[in-house]
Amino acid sequence: MTEAKASQKINPVVLAVLRGRLEQIADEMDATLFRSAFNPIIAEAHDASHGLYDAQTGDTLVQGKEGLPVFVGVMAFAVKYVIEKTATMPPDEGDVYIFNDPYEGGTHLSDFKLVRPVFREGKIFCWLASVGHWHDVGGNVPGNYNPVATESFAEGVHIPPVKLFRKGVLQNDIVDILKTNSRLPLSVYGDLNAQISALELGEKRLFDLLDECGDDTVKSVFAELRARAHLQMEAHIGQLTDGTVSASDWLDNDGIVDQPLVVAVDIHVRGKKMVLDFSRSAEAVAGPVNISRSTAIAACYVALKHLFPDVPANAGVLDPIDIVIPEGSLLSATAPRPVGGYTETILRIIDVIFSAIGKIAPKRALGNAYGTINALSLAGHREDGSRWVMFSFFGGGHGGHGSGDGLSHGNAPISMATIPPLEIFEAAYPIAFRQWAMRQDSGGAGRFRGGLGATYQIEILNEQAMGFFFGERGRHAPCGVGAGASGALNRFSWQTAKSSEAQSPEMTSKKVGIHLQKGGSVLLQTPGGGGFGDPLERPVEKVIEDFHMGYISVPQMQEAYGVVLNEQGALDGEATDVRRAALRQSRAEGDAV
């Protein structure tokens, strides 16, 4: 925690104007990379981010608005790591560092970070950084979501911070190493070039701005914006009731040992300060759902930004907050513990923070979103012998909230990723979707219903393919708020051939090496969001509309919402009153027990 001091000196017009100009630089770097990246995870799913970082501490100064939200918090750690590495060997002008270390730099090996010092009059003024999720970085599983990895070596190539550029000169040896370690070298080469272009553009725009407004003015704006984010966050915390609230949730397993892993938070609110204590969470595990401390802190940042979206995106957000994570925790993993499935664990961190805050600030509360990235890859060889790798994340429902139902088929809270069109998948790979649909009854019941998850079925059109699946929420569904019900569980299954029996993973939500033949298929049914508030308080006409739209089935309508229709399909008011009374009664009895 640090103390906030807002300065009174800086001209309010200069501050407002420069804030916009600085954000525009980061946004423009995002846009450049999205436009020119090769792999769809960056180009379509926007799994990338850019920002400006403090010269000495690496703290986030300004962040682009379009990038992956979880990177917003994590990039500062990547820059800090480079600052530490270069303490004894200071960088030269024109140097650019590249690495994918997930322990210091956050997230997982797929995310390559490029970090570039910006020099003014021979001294570092600030850092620019670019991070993007590459399509394939080696390891045992194409696309790098390896649910049975027990060491990071099975997940992909591991590059510490090295100089990609020395004094402005590209080091082709480094490029060769990177290309050689990927199944998709052209994609790696294309993405690398796109990230370099984004950094070049960022530096050019920043220089223009500094020349126009003066280095000192811009520096004072950095400090002021941080102080203001800090003050604003304090004001939000100040409105919460003092005391401690807790929430726990579980991961299905780590992919190696089939037992649930608890992610728990105790939130202590004291005046304008807040402590997020994760001490009750599980210890580090053998499988790839560990996350590093920097990733965990970034996840807290994402959760708080969703709950308090008006606070500017810079390091000031976390200034009034202490985060406690013991050594050896699932949430503070060190090398070489596997971290490939980090997305699942940070989604759970966000869920428990939502659930805990929901207990003291119901108006701000959100039902849990679907809570799993559902990484699915299908891979094989075409008739001409060339390799194909289809890799994507899949969507689900968002939680109900105090002002409405959750969004159906949204993207994960940690991301602004869109899913590629199925026609693009089908044009690129020998597959055909058989279903791309909303999943009935998957949204948690509530006064405001959770959004619906989806059903995707994909059939293999050529002779052989292998499938790899990494998901979560197979046994622990996304929670609602108050009396709001949970969303549906995640379901994954496959048929090896057209007529063979459906199988599902022993580990419920993770599986490697699924053999598929022509006509075989995979079926993924994703969770909806948690409901908000008592489903018996949902207006009857909205329940009936949900039924007519096929969002809910007859049993859900009767059992969860207590709404009964007569034989003509119209509301049976009397039977509904009786049914709702009975449900209230049995709920009261259940509470008494």
Query: Is residue 4 involved in binding another protein (CB under 8 A)?
Result: no
Containing H/E element for 125? strand 123-133
State which residue, 335 or 422, has the beta carbon closest to another protein: 422
State which residue, 31 or 571, has the beta carbon closest to another protein: 31
Closest CA to 535 of 449, 463, 454, 475: 449
470: its two tokens? 């990494």
- The distance of closest approach from Cβ of residue 542 to another protein in the complex, given in angstroms and rounded to an integer, is 13
Q: Determine contact, residues 329/339, Cβ cutoff 8 Å.
A: no
| Of 90, 513, 550, 573, the one binding another protein by CB under 8 A | 550
Query: Is residue 434 involved in binding another protein (CB under 8 A)?
Result: yes
State which residue, 420 or 482, has the beta carbon closest to another protein: 420
Q: Which residues contact 173 (CB under 8 A, 6 or more apart)?
A: none
- The distance of closest approach from Cβ of residue 98 to another protein in the complex, given in angstroms and rounded to an integer, is 18
List the alpha helices (DSSP H) in 328-439.
342-360, 422-428
| Of 24, 181, 462, 504, the one binding another protein by CB under 8 A | 24
Q: What is d(CA 101, CA 94) in angstroms, rounded to the nearest whole number?
A: 22
Please state whether beta strands 96-99 and 60-63 pair in parallel, antiparallel, or not at all (unpaired): unpaired
| Of 123, 382, 498, 548, the one binding another protein by CB under 8 A | 548
List the alpha helices (DSSP H) in 269-341.
293-307
State which residue, 332 or 556, has the beta carbon closest to another protein: 556
State which residue, 228 or 491, has the beta carbon closest to another protein: 228
The region of 12-20, 328-336, 463-471, 487-495 touching another protein under the rule CB under 8 A is: 12-20
Q: Which residues contact 60 (CB under 8 A, 6 or more apart)?
A: 51, 52, 53, 54, 72, 73, 75, 76, 313, 314, 315
Query: Is residue 423 involved in binding another protein (CB under 8 A)?
Result: yes
Query: Is residue 170 involved in binding another protein (CB under 8 A)?
Result: no
Query: Is residue 580 involved in binding another protein (CB under 8 A)?
Result: no
State which residue, 73 or 288, has the beta carbon closest to another protein: 73
Residues 381-400 that bind another protein (CB under 8 A): 394-395, 398-399
Helices and strands (H and E) in the chain: how many: 13, 19
Query: Is residue 145 involved in binding another protein (CB under 8 A)?
Result: no
Residues 459-478 that bind another protein (CB under 8 A): 461
Query: Is residue 457 involved in binding another protein (CB under 8 A)?
Result: yes
Q: Could you tell me where the beta strands, DSSP code E, fall in 27-122?
A: 48-54, 60-63, 96-99, 111-120
| Of 133, 305, 579, 580, the one binding another protein by CB under 8 A | 305
| Of 409, 538, 579, 580, the one binding another protein by CB under 8 A | 409
Query: Is residue 185 involved in binding another protein (CB under 8 A)?
Result: no
Q: What is d(CA 484, CA 401) in angstroms, rounded to the nearest whole number?
A: 10
Query: Is residue 557 involved in binding another protein (CB under 8 A)?
Result: no
Query: Is residue 36 involved in binding another protein (CB under 8 A)?
Result: yes
**Residue matched to tokens 């060997």:** 89
Q: What is d(CA 116, CA 130) in angstroms, rounded to the nearest whole number?
A: 9
Q: Other CB atoms closer than 10 Å to residue 206's CB: what's the count? A: 23
3-state secondary structure 406-422: CCCCECCCCCCCCCCCH
Q: Which residues contact 249 (CB under 8 A, 6 or more apart)?
A: 262, 263, 264, 348, 351, 352, 355, 368, 476, 479
72: its two tokens? 């917003």
| Of 404, 513, 539, 573, the one binding another protein by CB under 8 A | 404
| Of 190, 287, 474, 480, the one binding another protein by CB under 8 A | 190
| Of 225, 352, 485, 514, the one binding another protein by CB under 8 A | 225
State which residue, 221 or 269, has the beta carbon closest to another protein: 221
State which residue, 434 or 584, has the beta carbon closest to another protein: 434
Query: Is residue 549 involved in binding another protein (CB under 8 A)?
Result: yes
Residues 96-115 that bind another protein (CB under 8 A): none
State which residue, 65 or 515, has the beta carbon closest to another protein: 65
The region of 117-125, 137-145, 183-191, 253-261 touching another protein under the rule CB under 8 A is: 183-191
| Of 164, 267, 361, 369, the one binding another protein by CB under 8 A | 369
Residues 235-294 that bind another protein (CB under 8 A): 235
Q: What is d(CA 593, CA 591) in angstroms, rounded to the nearest whole number?
A: 5
Q: Determine contact, residues 117/127, Cβ cutoff 8 Å.
A: yes
Query: Is residue 554 involved in binding another protein (CB under 8 A)?
Result: no
397: its two tokens? 């429902």
Q: What is d(CA 538, CA 546) in angstroms, rounded to the nearest whole number?
A: 11
- The distance of closest approach from Cβ of residue 490 to another protein in the complex, given in angstroms and rounded to an integer, is 16
Q: Which residues contact 263 (CB under 8 A, 6 or more apart)?
A: 248, 249, 250, 251, 278, 281, 282, 330, 331, 345, 348, 349, 351, 352
378 strand-pairing partners: 390, 467
| Of 118, 154, 269, 311, the one binding another protein by CB under 8 A | 311
- The distance of closest approach from Cβ of residue 255 to another protein in the complex, given in angstroms and rounded to an integer, is 25
Query: Is residue 581 involved in binding another protein (CB under 8 A)?
Result: no
| Of 86, 181, 193, 334, the one binding another protein by CB under 8 A | 193
Size of the site for another protein (CB under 8 A): 87
| Of 38, 71, 145, 278, the one binding another protein by CB under 8 A | 38
- The distance of closest approach from Cβ of residue 453 to another protein in the complex, given in angstroms and rounded to an integer, is 10
Residues 65-94 that bind another protein (CB under 8 A): 65-66, 69
| Of 403, 506, 588, 592, the one binding another protein by CB under 8 A | 403
Q: What phi and psi, each to the nearest 5 degrees, are found at residue 215?
A: -60, -40
Cis, peptide link before residue 421, omega less than 30° from 0: no
